Amino acid sequence: MSAVGKLDLKKIRKIQLEELKLIKAFKEVCEKEHLQYFMIGGTMLGAIRHKGFIPWDDDADFMLPREDYDKLIKKAPEYFHGPIRLENYLLDRNYVYYYSKLSTSRIKVEITGRGKLREENLSIDILPWDGMPKNPILFWLHPFRVLAMRALYSYSVFEEKVPLNAVRRSKIVKFLVYIGKHVKIGKLFSKDARWYALDNTLKQYPTRRSEWYLHGGGWIMEGMGPKGVKDIYRKDMFGEGAFYEFEGLQLRGPKDYDTYLTQHYGDYMTPPPESERFGHDFLPVDNGDRDT
Examine residue 235 and state whether it is found in any structural domain, yes or no. yes
Instruction: For 225, list phi and psi in degrees, rounded to 5.
Output: 95, 180
Q: What local confidence, expressed as pLDDT, does residue 37 receive?
A: 98
Percentage of the chain exceeding pLDDT 70 = 83
- The answer, yes or no, to whether residue 225 has pLDDT greater than 50, is no
Cα four-point dihedral sign 72, 75, 78, 83: positive
91: burial class by Cβ within 10 Å (0-12, 13-18, 19+)?
middle
* Mean predicted confidence (pLDDT) in 13-18: 92
The residues, any chain, with a CB within 8 Å of residue 153's CB and separated by 6 or more, are: 98, 189, 191, 194, 195, 197, 198, 220
Examine residue 290 and state whether it is found in any structural domain, yes or no. no
Single-letter amino acid code for the residue at 91: L
Examine residue 233 and state whether it is found in any structural domain, yes or no. yes
Measured CA to CA, the distance from residue 204 to residue 198 in angstroms comes to: 10
Strand, helix or coil for residue 1: coil
Q: What local confidence, expressed as pLDDT, does residue 224 receive?
A: 39
Query: What kind and span of H or E run contains 232?
Result: strand 232-234
Examine residue 124 and state whether it is found in any structural domain, yes or no. yes
pLDDT (tens digit per residue) in 142-188: 988 988 898 888 888 887 777 666 656 667 777 777 777 777 777 77
Identify the DSSP state of 82.
T
- The answer, yes or no, to whether residue 251 has pLDDT greater than 70, is yes
Q: What is the Cα 34 distance to its own chain's centre?
A: 21
Domain count, the chain: 1
Examine residue 194 and state whether it is found in any structural domain, yes or no. yes
Q: Which domain holds residue 9?
A: 2-285
Q: What local confidence, expressed as pLDDT, does residue 163 receive?
A: 64
The bridge status of strand 282-285 relative to strand 100-111 is antiparallel
Q: Which is nearest to 280 in space by CA: 219, 215, 217, 216? A: 219
Examine residue 292 and state whether it is found in any structural domain, yes or no. no
* Mean predicted confidence (pLDDT) in 218-234: 53
Q: State the Rg of the chain over Cα.
A: 18
The pTM is what?
0.86
pLDDT (tens digit per residue) in 98-152: 999 999 999 888 776 566 667 889 999 999 999 999 999 999 899 889 888 988 8
Q: What is the Cα 92 distance to its own chain's centre?
A: 18
- The answer, yes or no, to whether residue 88 has pLDDT greater than 70, is yes
Q: What local confidence, expressed as pLDDT, does residue 170 receive?
A: 66
Q: What is the mean pLDDT of the chain?
A: 84
The bridge status of strand 118-129 relative to strand 61-65 is parallel
Q: What local confidence, expressed as pLDDT, does residue 284 receive?
A: 61
pLDDT (tens digit per residue) in 192-213: 999 999 999 999 999 999 999 9
**Do the Cβ atoms of 108 and 121 come closer than 8 Å?**
yes
Examine residue 105 and state whether it is found in any structural domain, yes or no. yes
Examine residue 78 and state whether it is found in any structural domain, yes or no. yes
Q: What local confidence, expressed as pLDDT, does residue 3 receive?
A: 41
